[in-house]
Structure 1
Amino acid sequence: MLPVLRKILSAAVFGAAMSCATGALAGDPIIGTWKTEPDRKDLISHIQITACGGKFCGKILSAYDKSGKEVQTKNIGKRLFWDVASEGGGKYGGGEFWVPLVNVEAVPTMALDGDQLKVKGCSHHICGHQTWTRL
């Protein structure tokens, strides 16, 4: 086979494999919009989780004060986590998690149980956790 044809065929096979992998992720139960618990500023956020390059990422869609009124923050639209992989059995991990209140990155772990997602992030020996609810 000619080297150029081999490269084209390899690229086509790789592209098809990535498309299938991303398509399979699209049906994963973690995909969707989640409501966080109140943070230290008493703000609740809505987080959108999507498939990103064969793994999962989440971004901050909106934020609300304790009365339910939508508020604007500089973090809306920013990525909250990325490169999180399914580990099977409703468990997710790896990747990185950005903690806006203290501006640090942490290693996330997540466990899905029905419409609740237990989210934990650790940086060195300090960990934080929340339970998010599906919207």
Structure 2
Amino acid sequence: MRKLVSILLLSTLAPTAMAASADGIWRTEANAENAFLEVTVGPCESDNSKTCGVITRALTEDGVADDYPHLGRVMIADMKDKGDGEYAGGRIWDPERDKEFKSTMVRSGNKLTVEGCVAFLCDGQTWTLVE
């Protein structure tokens, strides 16, 4: 009986823990030209215990921008999973400014809030899960 209760408890907790993962394809907020990126987030190639994100698609008002120069570039690097959908200790690259910032991420449902910070000044976006 105790074993059955443990299995049931674990099976109800497991989907919650998995839902907090940032893994997936995320759409950034649109920029001033109404263009946005899709970033594929998952384990880093260099260290599977950390989370990274690579620009896998760029879209404009006219459709897919196959000639976007930063396709395949790492945008999110070395995020550490703190649990409950929170990530910290990594960096994010801003393609519009060509600058890298210290970063944090928080997943809540199908939204991923991503912030980049310099000292105490932070700016961020809320990305939407594509798949």
TM-score category (smaller protein): 0.7 to 0.9
- Superposed CA RMSD: 1.6
Q: Distance in 2 between matches of 1:130 and 1:77?
A: 20
Aligned counterpart for 2:124 among listed residues 121, 124, 129: 129
Give 5+ residue unaligned stretches, structure 2.
1-17
**Please, what TM-score do these two structures have when normalized by structure 1?**
0.73
2:60 aligned partner = 65
Q: Distance in 2 between matches of 1:73 and 1:125?
A: 32
Confirm or deny that 1:37 pairs with 2:32.
Answer: no
Aligned counterpart for 1:83 among listed residues 50, 53, 78: 78
**Please, what TM-score do these two structures have when normalized by structure 2?**
0.76
Amino acid at match of 2:64: E
In structure 2, relative to structure 1, the CA distance for the partners of 1:42 and 1:126 (3 Å cut) is: farther
Select the structure with the greater relative contact order (CA < 8 A; seq sep ≥ 6): 2
Amino acid at match of 1:118: T
Identity of aligned residues (%): 30
Cα displacement string for residues 38-62 of structure 1 (whole angstroms, at most 9, x for unaligned residues):
1244321110001121100001001
Cα displacement string for residues 33-91 of structure 1 (whole angstroms, at most 9, x for unaligned residues):
11111124432111000112110000100111135x01121111100011101111111
Asked which structure has the greater CA Rg, the reply is 1
Task: Give the count of matched residue pairs.
Answer: 108
